[in-house]
């Protein structure tokens, strides 16, 4: 799967509105990464291909790969943490919180300038995502230890609350351009990615991946339930809160960067679990790689399906993910926590 991801990266930079031969794409990538120069750079076509691949497509493909890995990882961790097969990275109200932050920025003009405007839409979305996650964690811990049921219920409440506030702002703002921008943002897009976007997002996702790769025993224990964990001497309450905080930070950064991309964190762990089983020692690395593959090719589909245009990637993931999830629900041989 790692080889498939690498090959997919090279192939995907060749595909787009301007078709570039695979061998030439590979040659440009190798020489640009090596710091060298492409031969015959004086040719207009060659120079154009370099700009298209290195400045536009390659950073976009890398971000798609990181997004897929991060969302699949957080989805896998969330499903184990709350012991719920319908859990995804947005279960803590992160998507609705991010949407509220983006709405606040776009519709009220706080992303345009001034002291508050220096944060930008992405920063406001990240603040909203973390704020929503903090409210869920705080609400679920009232009256005793945090349980999976309380987390799900608190996430539902905060999700509805944030959506209500977003709709309230939109209704009274009466900003047609802002509504259009907000709609495009909530559908998810990788169109605006630049090289400067990648370092922070990639660093956070890689740190989270390294951390969770060594947490497979605790995640396996979570699937067994509270009683088994107590018998084994594992403090599930502590680990659940820790995993939720880490997943919230990762998901918040991903959402604030590219908008809301649904179904990836929900469906990828289920597909992988039906193949490799529920042991997180195999499930986590396989989900990460499959999530990267899925997002790379979904992005290719999103930017090539419409001539001279682009479909928001969140629409594509939902269109592909919903039928697969329906099939898995109908398929009686598959159950959560087992093959």
Q: Domain boundaries in the chain?
A: 83-259, 261-339
pLDDT at 337: 57
Nearest Cα to 100, choosing from 336, 260, 276, 261? 260
pLDDT at 21: 83
pLDDT at 333: 57
Q: Is there a contact between 119 and 250 (Cβ–Cβ < 8 Å)?
A: no
In which residue ranges of the chain is pLDDT below 50?
38-45, 112-118, 339
pLDDT at 206: 96
Per-residue model confidence as pLDDT tens digits over 107-148: 877 554 443 444 578 888 999 999 999 999 888 888 777 777
The domain 83-259: what is its CATH number? 1.10.3470.10
pLDDT at 113: 44
3-state secondary structure of 137: helix
Per-residue model confidence as pLDDT tens digits over 225-255: 777 888 888 888 889 889 989 999 999 999 9
Q: How many CB atoms lie within 10 A of CB 145?
A: 14
- What lies within 8 Å, CB to CB, of 209 at 6+ separation is 69, 73, 288
Rounded to 10 degrees, the C-alpha dihedral 126/129/135/140 comes to: -130
User: What is this structure's pTM?
Assistant: 0.88
pLDDT at 164: 94
């Amino acid at each position: 799967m790692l080889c498939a991801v690498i090959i997919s990266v090279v192939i995907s930079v060749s595909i787009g509105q301007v078709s570039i031969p695979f061998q030439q794409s590979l040659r440009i990538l190798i020489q640009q990464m090596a710091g060298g120069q492409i031969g015959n750079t004086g040719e207009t076509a060659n120079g154009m291909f370099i700009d298209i691949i290195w400045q536009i497509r390659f950073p976009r493909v890398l971000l798609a790969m990181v997004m897929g890995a991060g969302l699949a990882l957080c989805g896998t961790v969330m499903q184990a943490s709350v012991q719920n097969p319908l859990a995804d990275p947005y279960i803590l109200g992160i998507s609705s919180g991010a949407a509220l932050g983006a709405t606040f920025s776009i519709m009220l003009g706080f992303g345009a300038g001034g002291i508050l405007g220096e944060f930008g839409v992405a920063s406001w979305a990240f603040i909203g995502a973390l704020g929503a996650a903090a409210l869920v964690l705080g609400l679920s811990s009232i009256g005793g230890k945090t349980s999976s049921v309380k987390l799900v219920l608190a996430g539902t409440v905060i999700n509805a609350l944030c959506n209500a506030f977003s709709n309230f702002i939109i209704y009274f703002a009466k900003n047609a351009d802002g509504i259009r921008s907000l709609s495009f943002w909530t559908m998810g897009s990788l169109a605006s990615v630049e090289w400067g976007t990648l370092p922070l997002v990639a660093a956070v996702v890689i740190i989270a991946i390294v951390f969770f790769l060594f947490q497979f025993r605790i995640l396996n224990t979570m699937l067994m339930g509270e009683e088994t964990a107590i018998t084994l001497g594992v403090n599930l309450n502590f680990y659940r809160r820790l995993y939720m905080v880490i997943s919230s930070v990762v998901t918040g950064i991903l959402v604030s960067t590219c908008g809301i991309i649904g179904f990836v964190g929900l469906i990828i762990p289920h597909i992988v679990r039906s193949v490799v089983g529920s042991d997180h020692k195999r499930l986590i690395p396989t989900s990460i790689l499959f999530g990267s593959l899925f997002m790379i090719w979904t992005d290719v589909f999103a930017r090539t399906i419409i001539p001279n245009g682009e479909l928001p990637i969140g629409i594509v993931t939902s269109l592909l993910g919903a039928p697969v999830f329906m099939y898995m629900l109908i398929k009686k041989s598959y159950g959560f926590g087992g093959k």
